[in-house]
Amino acid sequence: MTQSSGKRIARNTTFLYMRMLFVMLVNIFSVRYVLKGLGVVDYGIFNVVAGLVTMFSSLSSIISSATLRFHSYAIGEGKEEKVSDVFTASVNIYALLAVIILIAGEIIGVWFINAKADIPIDRLITANWVFQSTMISFVIGLMTSPFSSLIFAYERMHVFSVVSVCDCVLKFFLAYSLLYLSGDHLLWYGIGLLFIQSLSFFAYLITSRHGGGEYYYKKKTEKQLYRQMLSFSGWTLFSSSASIGISQLVTMVTNVFFGPVVNAARAISFQVISAMNSFTGNIIVALRPPMIKQYAEGDYEKVKHYFNFSNKAVFYSLLLILLPLFFEMETVLRLWLEVDDSQTVLFCRLILVYALILSLNNPISIIIQATGNIKAYSTYVEIPTLLCFPATWGLYALGMPAESAFYVMIVAIVASHIIRLLCLKNVFPVISYKDYFVHFLLPAIVILCIVSLCLFFIQQKIIEGLPRLLAILITNSLLLFVSCFVIGLSQTERNALISLIMEVMTKLKIFRWTS
């Protein structure tokens, strides 16, 4: 990793972490106000209705990953003209995809809401209106992707951070306003989200034109590029379908078997995993473009270095938040949402286990996408995930409890990770299983066990409440830093960390002296 690329990644990661901390803090209160403003039943209804649209909008990731991959690859090759070709092709493909999903959404979504979903009769009209506003929001968000992809490809993370923070603040004020608005809060919330999505579209449209390289929409683009992007996207469809099955389809079948109240508990747990994914995503977003660019340049050793670094950075940074949440979930939910039921606590703890294993997949997926050899990857790796929906449905039909879905998810993600490693070695032989196990996975498991045992001891010795939460937060942070430094990092990485700390301390000393 060169000094300039390292500084760029560090700068981008800093922007993204600052964004993440702010967004997480604001979202904590936003979800609380949404739950209060809508009530448990309407909150469950909204997540069922929004889940239908999310099911369709998840298909946008099919083109999104292809767009970012081809943009980053073109920039890595130094072919600016090709960036315009990719941009043009992505806009056209997104427009076609929007039309297809709109038609499918209007047919399937309206039928499900009115014929299958467990929604009170007096809320059906509102649910239909919210579905329509959410579908329009989806189309606008879909057409935002070509512009946001350019911002990511050129590694302008400060732009993304500013726009997403503004988006988050607006959603917070919308959630807070539900406490004081008169009328149908569920309807107002759907319309408000549509307005905010429209503002985000114009923000990305404007900011992508400044400092994002020279690109423009072309009247004609090579058909070969369309074939390449659609081929890449076609195999990604399998992964996206699996993702839909494990989240949105299971949410709908949970609504059918258990009703909107249990769906509300499930929705809260998915707010937790959303926060976890946002946390780890900051590192992945910063590393994805340079990894793809270095692969395009043929510097495979540097790609391997990025891979090793990203595995450790993602896993250990996630433990910083995940372990205190796991041990103190009752207290966190009580302070956060004033929720105090055992089912929601169990859902949230299980989703944290799933999130920790899921985080290990991101670095692997980046390299696979960079190689472009995703046929076998997409075919085999998502088979366990695709089986989640029928397995959950079968368990529910046999009378198993609602948390069965989460156990199925955990088993599936473990199986998928093993398959991912096998696929990675096949397309990128530079990676060593021995290095992965000895230098990352084994130390990570040891650190996880050591810290967890210490936190469990504290949990047993201190009465539940805010003092115990603070004690676990402080202990977790200190233990993780020491154990990661001693066990988790290599000697080279320890030396680099010491140099970074000394550099920061030196700069702070100079700043104080000059002031």
What was the pLDDT predicted at 456? 92
Give yes or no for residue 33 having a pLDDT over 60. yes
What was the pLDDT predicted at 12? 57
CA pair distance 432, 110, nearest whole angstrom: 50
> Whole-model pTM?
0.66
pLDDT band with cut points at 50, 70 and 90 for residue 75: low
Of residues 360, 53, 135, 389, the one with CA closest to residue 247: 389
Mean pLDDT, the chain, integer: 77
pLDDT band with cut points at 50, 70 and 90 for residue 454: very high
CA pair distance 406, 274, nearest whole angstrom: 15
What was the pLDDT predicted at 141? 83
What was the pLDDT predicted at 446? 93
Give yes or no for residue 504 having a pLDDT over 60. no
Give yes or no for residue 95 having a pLDDT over 80. yes
pLDDT band with cut points at 50, 70 and 90 for residue 511: very low
Distance, CA of 472 to chain centre: 26
185's tokens: 């809060």
Mean pLDDT check: name the lowest of 211-225, 249-263, 431-445, 479-493: 211-225
Q: Which residue pairs from 95-100 have beta carbons closer than 8 angstroms and sit at least 24 positions apart in sequence? A: 95/143, 97/59, 97/60, 97/62, 97/63, 97/142, 98/139, 98/142, 98/143
Give yes or no for residue 170 having a pLDDT over 80. yes
What was the pLDDT predicted at 453? 94
Are the CB atoms for 318 and 394 separated by under 8 Å?
Answer: no
Q: What percent of the chain has pLDDT over 90?
A: 7
202-217 burial: b if 16+ Cβ within 10 Å, else e? ebbeebbeeebbebee
What was the pLDDT predicted at 210? 64
